């Protein structure tokens, strides 16, 4: 099992040991390299979704919940996402495609197939929750495919355009 935190690319592996309901980490790698294992001890608090976390000398209550492959962790006043990946699993390779950053409705499509675009060029307008959001070209290139047209609904992460360098 590998882990990533929030939107960061780096992958962690943790070797853990459990005894009497208390878990400690004895080794950890980041992107395949050994890193110093955090001195953390975690145990259930007794009620669902609550964990006692001991880091160094301090003890904190963490709220945890799993949704899909992601563990949501609220600790020390802030919420984080820690996502589980199958061993060796890669992010779906589709380097050339531009993904929808949010679900929404396509209001306008400004780019067509075969068109060359510059970085930052306004390619599409999405509407969600009554607000408009511009989809901009992440880099210069040629639009090889346009997957949606005006009025279509798109899901988060669906491929909007294919861009070739």
- Does position 73 interact with other proteins (CB under 8 A)? The reply is yes
Residue whose C-alpha is closest to residue 71's, from 56, 51, 55: 51
Site for other proteins in 24-53 (CB under 8 A): 25, 28, 30, 35-38, 40, 42-44, 48-49, 51, 53
Q: Minimum Å distance from CB 84 to other proteins?
A: 7
Instruction: Annotate the chain with DSSP letters as a single string.
Output: -EEEETT----EEEEEEEETTEEEEEEEEETTEEEPPP-EEEEE-SSTTEEEEEETTEEEEEEEEEETTEEEEEETTEEEEEEEE-TT--PPP-TTEEEPSS-EEEEEE---TT-EE-TT-EEEEEEETTEEEEEE-SSSEEEEEE---TT-EE-TT-EEEEEE-
Q: Minimum Å distance from CB 120 to other proteins?
A: 13
- Does position 157 interact with other proteins (CB under 8 A)? The reply is no
Q: Minimum Å distance from CB 135 to other proteins?
A: 11
Q: Minimum Å distance from CB 164 to other proteins?
A: 25
Site for other proteins in 108-147 (CB under 8 A): 125, 127-133
Residues interacting with other proteins, by CB under 8 A?
A: 1, 3, 5-8, 10, 12, 14, 16, 18, 21, 23, 25, 28, 30, 35-38, 40, 42-44, 48-49, 51, 53, 55, 62-67, 71-82, 84, 101-104, 107, 125, 127-133, 156
């Amino acid at each position: 099992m590998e882990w990533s935190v929030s939107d960061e690319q780096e992958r962690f592996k943790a070797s853990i040991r459990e005894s009497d309901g208390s878990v400690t980490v004895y080794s950890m790698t980041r992107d395949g390299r050994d890193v110093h294992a955090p001195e953390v001890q975690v145990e259930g608090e007794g009620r669902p979704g609550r964990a006692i976390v001991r880091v160094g000398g301090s003890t904190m209550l963490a709220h945890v919940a799993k949704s899909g492959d992601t563990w949501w962790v609220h600790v020390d006043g802030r919420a984080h996402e820690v996502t589980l990946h199958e061993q060796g699993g890669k992010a779906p390779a589709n380097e050339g495609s531009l993904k929808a950053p949010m679900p929404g409705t396509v209001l306008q499509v400004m780019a067509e197939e075969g068109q060359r675009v510059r970085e930052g060029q306004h390619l599409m307008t999405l509407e969600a929750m009554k607000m408009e959001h511009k989809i901009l070209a992440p880099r210069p290139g040629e639009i090889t495919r346009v997957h949606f047209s005006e009025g279509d609904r798109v899901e988060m992460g669906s491929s909007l355009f294919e861009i070739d360098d």
